[in-house]
Structure 1
Amino acid sequence: MSLEEKMTVAALLDANETRFCKAYFSYNAKCDSTNNSLPEAFNASIVQARSNSIISMLNDIRITYIVDLEKMTCSCRLWDLSGIPCVHTVCAIYNKEEDPEKYLAKCYRKEMYMRKYKYALQPINGLDLW
């Protein structure tokens, strides 16, 4: 390993995991741009189930999520972290025959967008004023 790689590894080992591990993210953060090794984690979790037939394997790896529409939470935490309803939440919302947009975080709604950019871009009257 090069010196630069060793320094990078040392820096990551010394770093506070709450800054880069999604499990520690605040529910107030509305950005879902953290990359992780999800496929590797998934494959590691189904090693034993892979030896079964397809139906048995799917039954072994089935996961149940708990959605609370009143508190706007899901046990997968995607909705909590991003403010955008996850697929589990949307299924629960459709089951109640409601509109999923009603459950978006306020920062994603049209009213907030219009308020945010109300003064940001003023139109210019023609090319001669550019």
Structure 2
Amino acid sequence: MMVDNNFTESFNAWILEARAKPIIKIYTVNLEQKKCTCRIWDLLGIPCPHAIKALTHKKVDPITEMHWWYSKEAYILTYKNKMQLVRGQKFWKVDPSSAMLPPDVVKQLGRPKRRGIENQMKQ
């Protein structure tokens, strides 16, 4: 048995234009845990656009909610030690007894591999 009434046809005509449009995604922001369902804030440590909107609604500066590793203090701690320059190879001290030699060349067993067409064209 099939139900056919004007309500169903009216509803289908009403949503006809909306059927071709994508579904709107609603993101959920948790300001205490600093998380958003889009996961940008979780992954980068920088508030996503959804979190920024929620923070500005609560009158909180979004820059204060960035992760610590983006702070000036973290940058200074990262680069506080100077890199020591290494002089050129002619100044290296090499002990002949501990010098490394290249490995011995061993001829592989079996038929040699065929060269590809592109290698033959180069010659």
TM-score when normalising by structure 1 = 0.46
Q: Name the one with the larger helix percent.
A: 1
Structure whose CA Rg is larger: 2
